[in-house]
Every structure is written in C-alpha cells, then in structure tokens.
Amino acid sequence: MTNAISYTEENYLKAIFSLTLKSKKGASTNDIAKRLETKASSVTDMIKKLAEKGLVDYKKYQGTNLTSEGREVAVGTVRKHRLWEVFLVEKLGFGWDEVHDIAEQLEHIRSKELTVRLDDFLGNPKYDPHGDPIPDKEGNIALHKEVMLEDLKTEDKAVVVGVKDSSTEFLQYLEQTGLVLGAEIEVKEIIAFDKSVSISINKAGAQTVSNLVSKNIYIKKI
C-alpha cells in the first residue's frame, strides 16, 4: 500500500483532467478549488502531494497539469463514473438528472475485475446518459465534437447528442422541455436581440429556449 491513491486524490485528478481537457494551459489553483468546492490553500497542499507522487506537473504559480500516470488514474475514474451512470439509468431506472451524486461515490470502488464485468454487463456502452463519451479500457476517450445548439442557423435540423451542463436543474428543465438525447430539432427562428432560439422538437409546435440553454446542448446536424 505504499502508493495507494485516496478517494480525495482521485477527485482532484479528475477535476484537473476535465479543467485541462480543452485549454492547453494548466489548471489554475482557483479553478480547481471552485470545482471541488474547497479552498485554494487546500488545493495547493494537495497539488504538492500529487506532484510528490508523480501524478501532476507543478511549478509554483504556474498551474497544474497531469502526468501520463495521473491522466491514467483520472481517465480510469471517469470511465467508472460513466459506466455506473449507465447502470443506474439503464438497469435501475433512475432519471438522468438523479445519477451524478451516486456515481460520484461509485467511481471510487477499487476492483479492476468489477469494471470489466460491469462494462460487459452493460453491453460495452460508448456514451453515458448525458451523451459524454466513456473512455475505453486503454484510456482512449473520444472528444466531444464541439457543435452546440447555438451554432445552428435557421432551418437547420439536428439531433441532441449531449449536454455540457449536467446539473440537476438543467437536466430537469430539458426533460420537461423534451430536449433529451436523441430528440430531433429544427431551428425556426433566431432572435438576434438575446440569441434565444425558437425550435421545434420532434416535429411538434415551436418553443423558445434561451441562449444559456442553447449553448449547453451538444447536437449533430442531419
């Protein structure tokens, strides 16, 4: 047990992973603190420990990046998180807005064999209930094609393939609006004033969603 990785460390690595996914700059101490709802000073402490263990690259005041070993741990945790989310929704019948907090716990269960068997039991899914890609056993992870609902023009047609914001409130709003994964949408009108957009969902009557909504929905044009 010289080098066991704690739940807390896994959560830090996962936060750094997602914060550095897009930007090539290191994750800032403040951003990590915000993400984990903790204080900057706590983050500095932990970063030092992770650097000591060879899981992150860190130079004072310069932001933090994962080493390949750190990335491996982070991706493994993300893989487990998303597989468990699939289990909770597909097998236990939870709503997509109810599974995050439980998966946040389940992702820390330590057993390679369990992950393999769970993956098989679920039919080796490629996406989680929010449309996020599930890393494979080797840690390869598909990147989200960065097309959002807000990028569409009038008369464009598309399918909802994911959500950027996975908060309960947002997911419940989408559920009730009908903007769930797989929904077909057509853009009827874009209101220049506030960038809100009028769309029809599954060929039903038009409804309007704000830009805050349209910029948080991944779509694929058809």
Partner DNA sequence: TATTATTTTTAGGCTTGTCTAAAAATATTC
Partner DNA sequence: GAATATTTTTAGACAAGCCTAAAAATAATA
* Binding site residues, its own copies, CB under 8 A: 88, 91-94, 98, 101-102, 105-106, 109-111, 113-114, 117-118, 121
221 lies in the binding site for DNA (CB under 7 A): no
In the complex, the smallest distance separating the C-beta of residue 102 from DNA, rounded to whole angstroms, is 19
On whether the CB atoms of residues 147 and 218 are closer than 8 A, the answer is yes
Nearest Cα to Cα of residue 175 among 187, 156, 166, 197: 166
Question: In whole angstroms, what separates CA 38 from the centre of its chain?
Answer: 20
Let me know: does 79 contact 114? Beta carbons within 8 Å. no
Per-residue x/- mask for DNA, residues 91 to 130, rule CB under 7 A?
Answer: ----------------------------------------
* CA–CA–CA angle 34, 175, 165 (5° rounding): 20
User: Contact letters (x/-) for DNA, 28-57, by CB under 7 A?
Assistant: xxxx----x-xxxxxxxxxxxx--------
The least CB distance from residue 191 to Mn ion, in Å, is 31
Alpha carbon distances (Å) from 101 to 96, 119, 161: 11, 20, 22
In terms of CB distance, is 79 or 130 closer to Mn ion? 130
Q: Using CB under 5 A, pick the residue from 130, 131, 149, 217 that binds Mn ion.
A: 130
